[in-house]
Amino acid sequence: MTDIQQYLEKLRAGDKLALSRVLTHVENNTPEGIFALETLFPQTGRAHMIGITGSPGTGKSTLVNSLAMHLRKKPESPRIAIIAVDPSSPYSGGALLGDRVRMRDLHGDRGIFIRSMASRGALGGLSHRTAALAQVLDAAGFEIILIETVGAGQSEVEIASLAHTVIVVEAPGMGDEIQAIKAGILEIANILVVNKADRPGVENSTRALRAMLQMAHPGDYMPMARKHLFNALESPTTAPEQSQETEIWMPPVVQTIATEGNGLDELMQAIEDHLAYLKRGQGWAMRDKENLALEMEGLIREHLTQRWLAQMPEARLEEVMLALQQRKISPHQALEKLLTYN
Amino acid sequence: MTDIQQYLEKLRAGDKLALSRVLTHVENNTPEGIFALETLFPQTGRAHMIGITGSPGTGKSTLVNSLAMHLRKKPESPRIAIIAVDPSSPYSGGALLGDRVRMRDLHGDRGIFIRSMASRGALGGLSHRTAALAQVLDAAGFEIILIETVGAGQSEVEIASLAHTVIVVEAPGMGDEIQAIKAGILEIANILVVNKADRPGVENSTRALRAMLQMAHPGDYMPMARKHLFNALESPTTAPEQSQETEIWMPPVVQTIATEGNGLDELMQAIEDHLAYLKRGQGWAMRDKENLALEMEGLIREHLTQRWLAQMPEARLEEVMLALQQRKISPHQALEKLLTYN
């Protein structure tokens, strides 16, 4: 624990090696990692988190690199962190290789930090770990955090939706991919990018996306426990002149050629517009509330379940589970039998 | 509740309309749906569940249809159910349309039942709902259940891994897609299919997959609570002549042209080989144990969390959550403060 305290001090001073070590502890959920998250928590809630997602082949990684370099050129030269949820095999160490390739692109800019995350074995826990890494980077003073995910699976949707601003990337002429984009991802998009805009079919893709946007409407599903926690959080009172409750954000469709930097200014403008929109209304605070409710829900569930299982005699548990296995009782009956023990 | 009892009786008699109604109740998690699952549970654990996954554009749906028709021709003509986790927009009703198109293909065969599932708003709950539908179909007497998912996201991996046998579908010349396949999906594949094998590049794709298989090794990540429940379940004692603990399944790579039925016999043989392998060793029982542990974990977590939140005074919860929101306390400190109330 003394080591981690030293790392945390160095991290605050901008030491990237110390930051990497803290992130590794947090990613592996070690006691030091939990301690780090706890210690850093008061400094969180400030970074603008931007999720970028899309199918493989859309040039998403190049776009993220290009966007990071463009953002750095802004007058205030914000410090930028990239979390790349890496598609490589969880077990082959692909994430490390990816890191090196990308590090080379952004080489020499001390204001950009890249972290790849393998998706190894973290079924169900990937979005939780991503959120934790983002918290550390937020506390470390990065003003903008780009969270890059691949694919349009439900987990990717979850990860992207941790962010304040979600950018969905498409490319022309990927007929099948347009289907993939429909898998719940259009509903969470705040900005749509048609990358590789020098390819044929760019206008068709743009038109198709605009048409699909007309049909999409965001879902607001939240499990009961999380909703309960969410509702317990305070909503900021909006000043009268700001109370544009009815203002609706229409996701713009931006065309880019990331390899040449084309369209990046328009994309940055769209990001700034969305940020301004969030801050005008309650969008910024809502995202924070959602993330806090999600985090507390996870902690409470995990703690209650482990505490409860720990005090359950093994013999009793085995007896009930055996009856379940033999189909003598149903899952709900098994739950009841276990509950009446307490 | 009287209605659902009637449906359940008709379902047992093979009535497909009744089956559809029960599935809708289960999918929407209504009280009738929960009652149905409870009632049907003793009849579960018998069907061979086969997960089929792969990127869009691999011809996966055609392969599933073709496989279903081939399987029906086996001497015992097994009854087959297909659960298609549909990639269409969660809100546009695409699932229904897909149903109709596919129904036409398989028209007239009363031994095949198709159910599409939209992925609407079910963040985190998709695999749970898929498992529940599979249970109903299992209890309804379908010998084989094909679970078709799209994409290589973590949730898709979870859904596929509910199955006894997982088939991953590829197509030649989808360079980018080969990346997608790496996102944790190769580790769960029991059989690999290179579909559209009349396309150029089929041998390259097959070779690439074989090479990647050499590197892949399955993960066995399980959250602590689930592991605890899993361990409480009984492992079947293996007869001496069957105790081939060291037998390892090497996933075969099968080439198919689903539109013409080519390679389907080889695919069916691979499926039968894998089933025989599972039954020789403890594979079949292990999958059942994993699914039961997963289901009990979900039930226990949900119940404990809701019970605990219900008895927590709102004022207390709001006070703690406000301190969290203002970054005066950390999430773990918030948890502790809430716990000490009890």
Residues in chain B: 342
Rounded to the nearest 5°, which phi and psi values hold at B328?
-80, -30
Rounded CA separation A37/A40 (Å): 5
Q: Is the pLDDT of residue A98 over 70?
A: no
B331/chain A closest Cα distance in angstroms: 6
Same domain, yes or no, for A255 and A336? no
Same domain, yes or no, for A189 and A87? yes
Please work out, in degrees rounded to the nearest 5, the angle formed at the alpha carbon of residue A55 by the alpha carbons of A206 and A266: 45
A237 in a structural domain: no
Q: Do A180 and B300 touch (CB under 8 A)?
A: no
Q: Do A154 and B155 touch (CB under 8 A)?
A: yes
A292 in a structural domain: yes
Binding-face residues of B in 125-184 toward A, CB within 8 A: 125-126, 150-158, 161, 175-177, 179-180, 182-184
Q: A315 CB near a chain B CB, below 8 Å? A: no
Same domain, yes or no, for B207 and B76? yes
Q: Which residue has the tokens 């309309």?
A: B17
| pLDDT of amino acid A202 | 87
Q: Is the pLDDT of residue B177 over 50?
A: no
Same domain, yes or no, for A316 and A173? no
Same domain, yes or no, for B198 and B282? yes
| pLDDT of amino acid A171 | 86
Q: How high does pLDDT run on average in chain A?
A: 81
The residue among B41, B138, B154 with the most chain A CBs within 10 A of its CB, best to mutate, is B154
Confidence tier at B245 by pLDDT (50, 70, 90): low
Residue B99: burial class (beta carbons within 10 Å; 0-12, 13-18, 19+): middle
Q: Do B301 and A297 touch (CB under 8 A)?
A: no
A143 in a structural domain: yes
A218 in a structural domain: yes
B208 in a structural domain: yes
Please tell me what DSSP assigns to residue B139. H
Q: Which residue has the tokens 């390259």?
A: B204
Rounded CA separation A70/A64 (Å): 10
The answer to whether residues A321 and B232 touch, using CB atoms and an 8 Å cutoff, is yes
Q: B213 CB near a chain A CB, below 8 Å? A: no
A8 in a structural domain: no
What is the largest distance, in Å, between two alpha-carbon atoms of chain A? 69
Q: Is the pLDDT of residue B124 over 60?
A: no
Q: Do B122 and A212 touch (CB under 8 A)?
A: no
Residues 6+ positions from A203 with CB-CB distance below 8 Å = none
Amino acid at A133: L
Amino acid at A24: T
Q: Which residues of A are less than 8 Å from B171 in CB distance?
A: none
Same domain, yes or no, for B158 and B92? yes
A101 in a structural domain: yes
Q: Is the pLDDT of residue B223 over 90?
A: no
B180 in a structural domain: yes
CA distances from A118 to A24, A301, B179 (A): 12, 25, 13
Q: Which domain holds residue A176?
A: 44-229+247-302
Q: Do B309 and A57 touch (CB under 8 A)?
A: no
Same domain, yes or no, for B284 and B157? yes
Binding-face residues of A in 235-274 toward B, CB within 8 A: none
Confidence tier at A96 by pLDDT (50, 70, 90): very low
Q: Is the pLDDT of residue B89 over 50?
A: no
User: The domain spanning residue B276 has which CATH number?
Assistant: 3.40.50.300
Same domain, yes or no, for B317 and B282? no
Whole-model pTM: value is 0.73
Same domain, yes or no, for B228 and B318? no
A65/chain B closest Cα distance in angstroms: 19
Mean pLDDT, rounded, for B311-325: 92
Radius of gyration of chain B from Cα atoms?
A: 22
Q: Provide the β-strand partners of residue A82.
A: A114, A146
pLDDT tens sequence across A111-162: 899 888 865 544 446 777 888 999 999 999 999 999 998 765 666 667 777 8
Mean pLDDT, rounded, for A57-65: 87
Residue B94 or residue B248, greater confidence: B248
Q: Do A182 and B94 touch (CB under 8 A)?
A: yes
Strands (DSSP E) contained in B134-244 are 144-150, 165-170, 191-194
| pLDDT of amino acid B320 | 94
Number of structural domains (chain B) is 2
Same domain, yes or no, for A291 and A331? no
Tell me which residue of B207, B194, B190 sits closest to B250, measured CA to CA.
B190
Scanning every residue of chain B, which has its alpha carbon at the shortest distance from the alpha carbon of A132?
B331
Strand ranges across the sheet with B48-54: B112-118, B80-86, B144-150, B48-54, B165-170, B191-194, B253-255
Q: How high does pLDDT run on average in chain B?
A: 81
Q: Is the pLDDT of residue A42 over 70?
A: yes
Q: Do A150 and B183 touch (CB under 8 A)?
A: yes
Same domain, yes or no, for B270 and B224? yes
Confidence tier at A177 by pLDDT (50, 70, 90): very low
Rounded CA separation B320/B297 (Å): 27
The answer to whether residues B66 and B258 touch, using CB atoms and an 8 Å cutoff, is yes
| pLDDT of amino acid A142 | 96
